[in-house]
Structure 1
Amino acid sequence: MNEQQLKQSTQINQADQNNLDRLKNIDSDELIGKYFQATYEPPNLKKAKKRLKKDVDIHYDFSIPADMKEIGTGKKFLIRTYGCQMNEHDTEVMAGLLTDMGYQSTELTSEADVVLLNTCAIRENAENKVFGEIGHLKPLKMENPDLIIGICGCMSQEESVVNRILKKHPFIDMIFGTHNIHRLPSLLKEAMFSKEMVVEVWSKEGDIIENLPKVRKGNIKAWVNIMYGCDKFCTYCIVPYTRGKERSRLPEDIIQEVRHLAAQGYQEVTLLGQNVNAYGKDLEFAYSLGDLLDEIRKIDIPRVRFTTSHPRDFDDRLIEVLAKGGNLLDHIHLPVQSGSSDVLRIMARRYTREDYLELVGKIRKAMPNATLTTDIIVGFPNETDEQFEETMTLMKEVGFEAAYTFIYSPRDGTPAARWTDNISMDVKKERLQRLNALVNEQSKAAMEKYEGQIVDVLVEGESKKDPDVLSGYTERNKLVNFKASKSLIGKVVPVRILKAKTWSLDGELAEVKAEVY
């Protein structure tokens, strides 16, 4: 063992002892009273609403610190991801960082040397799952003090969550937020050699770091972040506080990334943003999502999607470009949240039922075969029976083919969380059941129209229920199951639809004889 290796070994042994000392002797109140105040500035919600546009720094010079490049050699990491596609993509970045430090991925908690929980704050249920997992990790930490456990993602940006972890779960080694993922190597180093819990959550807006490594999930479909944050401040939503203000990447950086993915053989990209069609509004020159898509449609990649849209920013230029077709798919996810103008006003959505229907009319005129899906919240504080019925009639009038539906979940720090609510949970559940029944009915009717048709399916792999069956998605995001050779995985193939179900289609490979199966 050379001198450098001996020094590193001594440091790590000392870190293990430090962890044991912290677990045995920590005074959580002292930690909150001294360490927490000294290192952590909780997000200021009032300041967040008053934030102004300012220049965002873009960095192209990221690199792993020299002393961390091989720190993970012979070790493994596990990242559990909760929530949206943006979190999934953040996990790809963190996996890239850890891989570049020498770590290998594992699916087994018992094998991991680093466990990260990439959290979601949008609903209470997601938070409960995370705290349940934290409880399960405590025995592992007690058995293996040099196990590093980190909490990151949107929950880390909430003051109440950080307080709870500091007070009740002092065995956690590090907490970091959504704006400083690129700091993971340095934070991990500090967690390994520090006696204290490492807490770094930035209230300030994040910059854009362009050259972060990524380990993408699979080699067929890829997510591409085109912007970060949201400026809408809907009264029920925590995202503008946890993700910061809207910050757009430069078009040339996005286009270069998509071209690189096309060259690698990816068949589909999804452009991501908390409010994806607000893209470009913060740039110093006139440029929109429609302009970006008009460039990307010229790239040789079969399918291009984007999510998630806000109806208020779905402009005529975007509709014009989408109508050109090609690799731009006409499946549009357009969250409406409620069918009542009164509820929409209280939600601060800044459009009415009539505005939404007018937008749908424009989309239908330009793209008659477009598939529309949506998000809907039921049981918003003091929602009346009549207002809920307006949501039901809107569901029918638009003809949504699918919807993500939720009972309203109050989030600490949002305006709606402070409001008195006179609707019982029984009523809310009954409304959700009625809405879901309608969603299922409309989805099944939409699926039945595909029977007998031949559709193009991007084959993603084996069915979760049957390894002898392949599964993939149509251009309009319909799940298709069919039997065929596994050599077709990663390709777009024609499939004849034989049977429609509520949420999937069964088919057979078109133009191929049965004995090939």
Structure 2
Amino acid sequence: MTENFSEIINEETAPQKLLQWSGEYERTCGHKPLALIHSYGCQQNVSDGEKIKGMLSKVGYEFTSDVNEAQLILYNTCAVRENAEDKVFGKLGDLKHLKENNPELIIGICGCMAQQKHVAEKIKKTYRQVDLVFGTFAYNDMYNMLWEIISKHDRIFNLSENHVDINEDFLQLRDDKIRAFVPIMYGCNNFCTYCIVPYVRGRERSRKPESVIAEVKALVKNGYKEITLLGQNVNSYSYGFPELLRELDKIEGDFRIRFMSSHPKDASHELIDAILECKKVCKHLHLPVQAGSDRILKLMNRRYTTADYLKIIDYARSKDPEFSFTTDLIVGFPSETYEEFCETKELIKKVKYDNIYSFVYSRRSGTKAAEMEDHISDKQKGLWLRELLLEQREVSTAWLSRFVGRTVTVLPTGEGRTGADYLTGKSDEDMIVEVKADKKYIGKFIQVRITKAMNWALRGELVEDK
């Protein structure tokens, strides 16, 4: 079909050309061009995917989840762990036959994985069905790249490393109508030795407070109940993160605020105080510790000790004994011993995390840790991970049991695992709660009396609307 529309060159800009092309496509084919956008990885990637969908909707695209219907397939990728990349390469292989049957299909890769030169080279040589590869700094050029492919059948690889100014004026097309991610900053300056993020997302850039506040106000006006502020390290927000929380807390409406992530080296008493003072901010902090051994933390370039970390925990719990913490943990970092791994287990017991997000160390090419000798077998790492999860299961069960008999505020977001009669949501403390209740309560704050604690969630009964 593209040949019929490739002469649309009389408009001034790529968005205008694409909009005219999509109109011609609809008149010829009977429907608007369809795009499939799939985001892998973290919440920031989900937010980027929403931005991409917003951009495409402006030039006439609609969306599908069926690869067989799509005229554009775009995978928004993650580079934090190797298995995430393997999934994408597997997907690309599956699409080869679709491209053979439909040469007009546009297949693209974007995001963190695409920002790596060795990945782009592999795709260029091995996955000839891919038309478009662009990294994390090229979103603003997406219209031009897409038009070049449609009009000239070019393959485009854009790995620009120019840290362009943050575009404050963009439309995000969100699938979730209850919870919204709001990025407040991009990039990272910390260069932890295991982490690829500073290399693929660049140095820290912060959005202006007035832009963030305006976006949150608009979301609340449109009925969103939970706003999650995003940043690789929100404590590095250039305009003062505690101050931003206090300003957002002044916004009128029935909603709550979460955020992630905080770097322990920058977590302060001022941050804890702001969380506790703000009525709309959840009394929960995701504080990635990564390891319980000071030697391993130094090798990771985390720039704090376990004693430093525990001071933040102790301060928060001295102000509010129910203050909730979750964390990230890496198992099997190069040269880690079993004794050092056991220090991580001890830290879990000391902190009493609500939940942990634990992963086996994944070597990332280009990072400092990739140059370290890794003597720990994959089998051993897997055994340690299971041991860690069993430890956390005991901690979670004991910690969650304290809530039996109490009443907590819950925001149901869908059906529960227990059955169709149950709804699932999270409490302000970030605990998963299942409650037997009508679906009319989805997206509304409700009061739930906790009747049972499991190792992964709480169960309760509906008390009343909030």
> Which stretch shows the higher mean deviation, 315-324 or 120-129?
315-324
CA distance in 2, matches of 1:431, 1:418: 23
> Which stretch shows the higher mean deviation, 487-496 or 227-236?
487-496
Structure 1 match to 2:51: 93
Structure 1 match to 2:70: 112
Once the two structures are superposed, residues 448-493 of structure 1 have per-residue CA deviations (whole angstroms, 9 ceiling, x without a partner) of: 2222222111121223663332221111111222222222121101
2:5–2:21 CA contact under 8 A, matched in 1: no
Indicate how the Cα distance of structure 1 residues 316 and 64 shifts in structure 2: closer, same or farther if over 3 A, else same: farther
Once the two structures are superposed, residues 416-462 of structure 1 have per-residue CA deviations (whole angstroms, 9 ceiling, x without a partner) of: 11111122222222211111101111112222222222211112122
Which residue, 209, 233, 246 being the options, matches 1:294?
246
Structure 2 match to 1:478: 431
TM-score (norm 2): 0.93
Q: Structure 2: where are the runs of 5+ without partners? A: 27-31
> Which stretch shows the higher mean deviation, 136-145 or 229-238?
136-145
> Which stretch shows the higher mean deviation, 441-450 or 76-85?
441-450
> Pairwise CA RMSD of aligned residues?
1.9
Query: Structure 1 residue 213 and structure 2 residue 200: aligned?
Result: no
Q: Structure 1: where are the runs of 5+ without partners? A: 1-5, 14-62, 281-286, 513-517
CA distance in 2, matches of 1:105, 1:142: 22
Instruction: Give, as a single letter, the amino acid of the residue that structure 1 aligns with 2:347.
Output: L
Which residue, 231, 252, 258 being the options, matches 2:189?
231
Structure 1 match to 2:118: 160
Query: Structure 1 residue 396 and structure 2 residue 349: aligned?
Result: yes
> Which stretch shows the higher mean deviation, 424-433 or 370-379?
424-433
Structure 1 match to 2:29: none
Which residue, 452, 458, 466 being the options, matches 1:499?
452
Structure 1 match to 2:305: 352
Structure 1 match to 2:16: 66
Which secondary structure does the structure 2 equivalent of 1:473 belong to? Answer: strand
> Which stretch shows the higher mean deviation, 406-415 or 356-365?
356-365
> Which stretch shows the higher mean deviation, 347-356 or 461-470?
461-470
2:16–2:59 CA contact under 8 A, matched in 1: no
Matched residues, number: 452
TM-score (norm 1): 0.84
Give the fraction of aligned pairs with identical amino acids, expressed as a percent. Answer: 44
Q: Where do residues 177-216 of structure 1 align in structure 2 (5 Å cutoff)?
A: 177-216=135-174
CA distance in 1, matches of 2:139, 2:406: 46
Indicate how the Cα distance of structure 1 residues 386 and 101 shifts in structure 2: closer, same or farther if over 3 A, else same: same
CA distance in 2, matches of 1:98, 1:241: 27
CA distance in 1, matches of 2:329, 2:97: 39
Which residue, 397, 406, 409 being the options, matches 1:456?
409
Instruction: Answer 1 or 2: higher relative contact order, Cα 8 Å, separation at least 6.
Output: 1
CA distance in 1, matches of 2:209, 2:334: 40
Structure 1 match to 2:280: 327
Instruction: Give, as a single letter, the amino acid of the residue that structure 1 aligns with 2:377.
Output: S
Instruction: Give, as a single letter, the amino acid of the residue that structure 1 aligns with 2:241.
Output: L
Once the two structures are superposed, residues 201-237 of structure 1 have per-residue CA deviations (whole angstroms, 9 ceiling, x without a partner) of: 1122232001111101222111111000000000000
1:127–1:155 CA contact under 8 A, matched in 2: yes
CA deviation after TM superposition for structure 1 residue 8, in Å: 7.0
Q: Where do residues 380-459 of structure 1 align in structure 2 (5 Å cutoff)?
A: 380-459=333-412
Structure 2 match to 1:79: 37
CA distance in 2, matches of 1:290, 1:213: 27
Q: Give the 4+ runs in structure 1 shifted more than 4 A.
A: none
CA distance in 2, matches of 1:187, 1:375: 37
Indicate how the Cα distance of structure 1 residues 441 and 183 shifts in structure 2: closer, same or farther if over 3 A, else same: same
